[in-house]
Amino acid sequence: MQGNAQVNPDEVSEGFYSIRGGEFQDAGTCATAIKSALMKLGYSEECARRAAVSAFEAEMNVIIHAVAGTLNYMIDSDEITITVTDMGPGIEDIDRAMTEGFSTAPQWAKEKGWGSGLGLPNIKKNSDSMDIDTRKGEGTTLTVRVKLTTGGKD
């Protein structure tokens, strides 16, 4: 389960998920799958965790704000790219959305402990690049890249 320390550079692994808006109990499904895929391939737990935290927050954004969306990931030899596309309202002001504590989440999300305005800042902190393409009334595509490392602890 913990995988081996050898990473095969030719090995490309990918996954695709659909995310339904409002279905908060599904949150973390993609994140958990990404973490375990990276661990199985022999990448370090630290980079697996960073990728998983980014995926988790991205999933949550779709669940909170959009009707539906998709997440796909592709693991290359030294990088994972996570792309999340949603049919949501779009982000009105990206600068504000990137500010810790700014949230447009509804009450139900806050009652579950989400919607504290930390989602996008968390993704930024846990990734090596983050790109937001958003259109008001149409949706948002978020592309996140995390550099992968092997070894570390263990």
Partner 1 sequence: MAELTARKVIDSLEATIASGGDLERKVTGCYVSDLLSDVLAKSNEGDLWITQHTHSNIVAVASVKGLAAVVVVGGNVIPEDTLVKARAEGVTLCQSRMSAFEAAGEVYNLLKGGAG
- Cβ contact 53:120 at 8 Å: no
Q: Which of residues 63-122 bind partner 1 (CB under 8 A)?
A: 112-114, 116, 118-119, 122
Which of 38, 43, 47, 57 lies at the binding interface for partner 1 (CB under 8 A)?
A: 57
Helix ranges restricted to H, 22-118 = 29-40, 45-65, 94-97, 107-111
- 149 contributes a contact to partner 1 by CB under 8 A: no
Which of 15, 24, 76, 81 lies at the binding interface for partner 1 (CB under 8 A)?
A: 24
Residues 6+ apart with CB under 8 A from 93: none
In one letter, which amino acid is 31?
Answer: A
- 52 contributes a contact to partner 1 by CB under 8 A: yes
Crossing angle of helices 45-65 and 119-126, in 10° steps, is 150
Which residues contact partner 1 (rule: CB under 8 A)? 24-25, 27-29, 31-32, 35, 45, 49, 52-53, 56-57, 60, 112-114, 116, 118-119, 122, 125
